[in-house]
């Protein structure tokens, strides 16, 4: 902020306390689990095995690329949507909370691919 200029809307807001941050993180944690449970069944498909990485394996086999590369494309889709929000301040087709939760879920899935598939 330049001296003498009015504060921006973000500068006028109070600091985010540690307790408030952890409450927000808990909200996102809950939303992430909710989305993983609702969307995950469609992607894993095999109810007996419950392969959480089934979608990545199938698409990799169909396209001749590695599951980690499939993950990267899916993850970047969510990063791109969040970048659009960061640059424009708006979203058009999906709630912003869901976009953050999806991106975070893909971090977890990427970690699982790395640890489980190598």
Specify the higher pLDDT residue, 11 or 96: 96
State the pTM of this model.
0.80
State both tokens at 46. Answer: 């095999």
Across 99-110, average pLDDT? 96
Confidence of residue 48 (pLDDT cuts 50, 70, 90): low
Instruction: Point out the least confidently predicted range of 30-34, 46-50, 86-90, 110-114.
Output: 46-50
Q: Is the pLDDT assigned to residue 31 strictly greater than 60?
A: yes
Most confident residue range from 8-17, 43-52, 108-117: 108-117
Planar angle of CA 109, 111, 116, nearest 5 degrees: 90
Q: What is the distance between the alpha carbons of residues 93 and 85, in angstroms, rounded to a whole number?
A: 11
Across 78-103, average pLDDT? 92
Most confident residue range from 4-18, 31-45, 66-80: 66-80
Specify the higher pLDDT residue, 53 or 46: 53
């Amino acid at each position: 902020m330049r001296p003498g200029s009015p504060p921006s809307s973000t500068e006028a807001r109070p600091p985010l306390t540690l307790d408030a941050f952890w409450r927000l993180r808990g909200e996102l944690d809950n939303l992430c689990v909710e989305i993983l449970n609702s969307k995950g069944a469609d992607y894993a498909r095999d109810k007996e095995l419950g392969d959480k990485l089934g979608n990545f394996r199938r698409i990799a086999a169909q396209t001749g690329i590695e599951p980690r590369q499939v993950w990267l494309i899916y993850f970047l889709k969510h990063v791109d949507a969040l970048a659009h929000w960061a640059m424009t301040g708006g979203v058009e087709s999906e709630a912003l909370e869901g976009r953050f939760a999806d991106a975070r879920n893909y971090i977890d899935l990427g970690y699982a691919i790395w640890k489980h598939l190598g």
